[in-house]
Amino acid sequence: MCAEFKRGLVAAGLEARRMPQHGALSRRLMNVCGWRIETVPGLIPARDFFALLRDRRFPSPDWIRHPDDLEYTPEPDAFHDLFGHVPQLVSPPFTRVLEHLAFAARRASDEELAEIERVYWFTIEFGLVREQSIVKAIGAGLASSIAELDRALHLESIERRRFVLTTARNVEFKTDHPQALYMVADSLDALAKDLRGENWSSARRAS
């Protein structure tokens, strides 16, 4: 994982040997960065998801994946959210990206919302970043998947493209198996800058 993610892991006070409880973790996060954990049963609609992010609440279930799904799970569980997303929440470079996407979704049409979801997928969930010429992971989906993290960074046959916002808005993704394409941002700051200046209400552009 990239250095900023690892700093967030330390700042959040997560312990490798123990799953944090939502209540205690929320209280700690409020003190550290002003975010809270909102317990939900599982996946929720995109509009509800981004509405919670605008209120600095991150939705997470309180159940853990089956041992058979240790290397990859198509549905986020508490491990994915707490060890994959919480380190992002205490990091200003990450939260700038989250907030730009969340506020863009506030008045988005259904088509624009789908594009915002795609950008979220290729950044916050499965994004890569170039860090001192070395490609590192930033996505929570990679942080919580041993097999896919290794695959994304080291498998020669995997496609890794430089992150381009117009492309990310239009490329479809699959949630039920490891990714065939990853996008590499120049930096988290550059990513946030791109999102801040994007006109989400513009006509959909071809990649």
Active site residues: 80, 85, 125, 144
Q: What is the dihedral of CA 49, 65, 71, 123, to 10 degrees?
A: 10
Query: Using an 8 Å Cβ cutoff, are 189 and 152 in contact?
Result: no
Helix (H, G, I), strand (E, B) or coil at 187: coil
Write out the E strands in the chain: 36-39, 57-60, 128-131, 134-137, 159-162, 181-185
CA distance 200 to 38: 27
